[in-house]
């Protein structure tokens, strides 16, 4: 084991996969200078300009070139800088890459990874702070991945690069500096497999990305008060691990879904509805969701914090779920 950051874990994944497979390459703005956050630092010197390719400032151009390259036998890694900017390339991703396998009767695959940094990053304001994972989970043909730890960023990115369908890979900007243990040697995390980050029997909390860490802090506080919650990190939103979530809710009888993104029409609604439909006889309390209000994210820190899901709001929601049993 070695300790390293979430950012460097992703960088290591790219290096290892490019060394393993000559068809893997990356393209985006300023990759030769290391990328906007340093995810590609030194890679152009290692692999050359044909495999770490700098592009024009045009997301549609970047995505369109990658889709065509993937259709003709390579495995591009597309760097979108910010998930907000990737909206300029939605047509190429949603109408072309996501549908090609179906429209060509399985004769064509589009093995590409689209890296999109997501989430609130202090005072980045409305155009640089969004989490749009629900948009992509809604689109048939796309795989959606949301790593939350350095080890998962290493193992999931490697699995995403090897996947034969287009993967939208959403890395949270606040996690770049997060440190954690990275396994030595080959490390792959299967797509579609959740992680039980903390075991418990009172309430199941399902979350993903940076909210995993907020939920774990809340769980520690609740544990000191005698309430043991189970925290499940989905890791992959599509496909999502229904078996792990359903199994946990059957044990606890209560579900709280926690997401940083806007609660309205968020992916948490899919989980809540699926559990309510399948396990209504096992539930001891109504399913709850926590997410941001339907407002743009402000630049001012005080207003930005109003949109954040906090440790305190998670604790209050858990207490609300167990209150009927306590009162009884």
Shared-domain flag, residues 158 and 211: no
State how far the Cα of 111 lies from the Cα of 94, in Å rounded to an integer: 14
Shared-domain flag, residues 24 and 54: yes
- Asked if residue 326 has pLDDT above 60, the reply is no
Residue 189 lies in a domain: no
Structure tokens at 288: 């709850």
Q: Which helix (H) or strand (E) holds 52?
A: strand 52-54
- Asked if residue 67 has pLDDT above 80, the reply is yes
DSSP state letter for 118: B
128 flagged as catalytic = yes
Residue where the block lists tokens 């407002």: 295
Indicate the residue among 182, 210, 242 that finishes a domain.
Answer: 182
**What was the pLDDT predicted at 324?**
57
Nearest in space to 267 (alpha carbons), one of 145, 149, 150, 171: 145
Residue 67 lies in a domain: yes
> Using 50, 70 and 90 to split pLDDT, how confident is the model at 328?
very low
Please give the residue range of the domain that contains residue 254.
195-327
Question: Whole-prediction pTM value?
Answer: 0.92
- Asked if residue 160 has pLDDT above 60, the reply is yes
Shared-domain flag, residues 48 and 135: yes
pLDDT per position as a tens digit, 216-236: 999 999 999 999 999 999 999
Q: Which of 128, 172, 187, 213 is catalytic?
A: 128
pLDDT per position as a tens digit, 30-44: 999 999 899 999 999
């Amino acid at each position: 084991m070695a300790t390293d950051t979430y950012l460097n874990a992703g960088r290591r994944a790219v290096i290892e996969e490019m060394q393993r497979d000559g068809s893997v390459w990356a393209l985006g703005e300023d990759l030769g200078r290391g990328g906007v956050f340093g995810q590609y630092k030194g890679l152009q010197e290692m692999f050359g300009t044909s495999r770490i390719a700098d592009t024009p400032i045009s997301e549609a151009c970047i995505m369109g070139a990658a889709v065509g390259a993937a259709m003709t036998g390579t495995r591009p890694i597309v760097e979108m800088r910010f998930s907000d900017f990737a909206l300029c390339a939605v047509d190429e991703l949603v109408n072309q890459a996501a549908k090609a396998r179906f429209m060509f009767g399985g004769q064509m695959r589009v093995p590409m990874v689209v890296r999109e940094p997501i989430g609130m990053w202090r005072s980045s304001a409305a155009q640089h702070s969004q989490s749009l994972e629900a948009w992509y989970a809604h689109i048939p043909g796309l795989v959606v991945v949301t790593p939350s730890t350095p080890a998962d960023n290493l193992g999931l990115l490697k699995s995403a690069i090897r996947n034969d369908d287009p993967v939208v890979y959403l890395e949270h900007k606040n996690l770049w500096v997060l440190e954690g243990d990275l396994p030595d040697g080959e490390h792959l995390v299967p797509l579609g497999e959740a992680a039980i980050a903390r075991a418990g029997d009172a309430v199941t909390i399902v979350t993903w990305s940076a909210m995993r860490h907020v939920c774990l802090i809340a769980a520690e506080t609740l544990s000191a008060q005698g309430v043991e919650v189970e925290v499940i990190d989905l890791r992959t939103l599509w496909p999502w691990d229904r078996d792990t979530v359903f199994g946990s809710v059957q044990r606890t009888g209560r579900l709280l879904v926690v997401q940083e993104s806007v609660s309205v029409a968020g992916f948490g609604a899919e989980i809540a509805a699926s559990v309510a439909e399948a396990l209504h006889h096992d539930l001891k309390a109504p399913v709850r969701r926590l997410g941001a209000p339907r407002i743009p994210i402000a630049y001012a820190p005080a207003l930005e914090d109003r949109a954040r899901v906090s440790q305190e709001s998670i604790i209050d929601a858990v207490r609300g779920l167990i209150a009927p049993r306590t009162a009884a």
